[in-house]
Amino acid sequence: MGTAATFDLSGKRVLVTGGTRGIGREIAVAMTEHGATVTITGTGVRGEEVDGFAYRRLDLVDAPSIEAAAATFDGLDVLINNAGVLFRDDQEYEPVVFEHVVSANLFGPYRVCRAFYPHLRESRGSIINVVSMRALMNAAGTPAYGAAKAGLLNLTRSLAVKWGGDGIRVNAIAPGPIRTDMNAAFRESAAATQAVTDGIPLGRWGDSHEIAGAAVYLASPAAAFTTGGCIQIDGGILA
């Protein structure tokens, strides 16, 4: 099998949660470029199509909205759990905020996996969970986010083992410092941004599109024997 055919996603049905912007949008675009039919989700009511993608409303802290979204699908080959939330400035040390963040970033993706499990079992499909480098190191400024992403990484491994017999592959991607809307306010501080940059061996922040290639790989036949893994895309910061 040649390289071009290996990464061909023609005929694959892909769902990207949080696909209206940032990393999610870049993944959706890349999947489409490799032949997939892509549906994206967001929390707003925005019609059946957004920017050329089929669109479904899905709120990670609203279980009925997850079930409702799943009910609209006839089948699915690739599920990408990308949507998430975080709060900076030590807000996550407040118990109510901590609980909300963990609900969105851990319970939410689990509910999505469960809701789409029948479709993925039928297609012998693939799940890709977008975690974070904070799943692998301390997250003192965003403790709930870090704890939830660490939990999601462990869940990735658990589901890979549990659902491997169904032919479902489950993997994770752990982005490092990536320029997105989520960290735009943080990056307004030149000093804070430079402090992060100083710890990156490649000497710069990443861009959202630099995450998409790993997602294409994990969704494609090239990764047919890859499950339970995590690809770090962090410019070397964890090294």
Evaluate if residue 2 carries a pLDDT over 70: no
pLDDT category of residue 28 using cuts at 50, 70 and 90:
very high
Q: What is the pLDDT of residues 163-214, one digit of tens each?
A: 999 999 999 999 988 888 777 777 778 887 888 888 899 999 889 999 999 9
Would you kindly state where each structural domain of the chain is located, as residue ranges? Answer: 3-233
Q: What phi and psi values does residue 129 have, to the nearest 5 degrees?
A: -100, 125
CA distance 178 to 21: 13
Across residues 3-20, what is the average pLDDT?
A: 89
Across residues 142-166, what is the average pLDDT?
A: 98
Evaluate if residue 104 carries a pLDDT over 70: yes
The Cα-based distances of 187 to 33, 149, 184 in angstroms read 30, 22, 5
Q: Give residue 199's pLDDT.
A: 85
Q: Give residue 192's pLDDT.
A: 74
- CA–centroid distance for 47 within its chain: 23
CA distance 131 to 164: 20
Angle at 143 between CA 138 and CA 145, to 5 degrees: 100
CA distance 41 to 21: 10
Q: Give residue 4's pLDDT.
A: 54
Contact in structure between 126 and 171 (CB atoms under 8 Å) = yes
| Active-site residue, selected from the candidate residues 110, 117, 145, 217 | 145
Mean per-residue pLDDT over the chain, rounded: 93
Q: What is the pLDDT of residues 62-91, one digit of tens each?
A: 999 999 999 999 999 999 999 999 999 999
pLDDT category of residue 3 using cuts at 50, 70 and 90:
low
Across residues 133-149, what is the average pLDDT?
A: 95
Across residues 98-120, what is the average pLDDT?
A: 98
Angle at 103 between CA 100 and CA 64, to 5 degrees: 110
CA distance 84 to 41: 12
pTM equals: 0.93
Q: Looking at domain 3-233, which of 3.40.50.300, 3.40.190.80, 3.40.50.720, 3.40.190.10 is its CATH number?
A: 3.40.50.720
Q: Give residue 5's pLDDT.
A: 58
pLDDT category of residue 11 using cuts at 50, 70 and 90:
very high
Alpha-carbon dihedral angle through residues 60, 170, 168, 85, given to the nearest 10 degrees: 10
Across residues 43-70, what is the average pLDDT?
A: 92
Query: Residue 157, class by beta-carbon neighbours within 10 Å (0-12 exposed, 13-18 middle, 19+ buried)?
Result: middle
Contact in structure between 196 and 186 (CB atoms under 8 Å) = no
110 labelled catalytic: no
Q: What phi and psi values does residue 95 have, to the nearest 5 degrees?
A: -55, -40
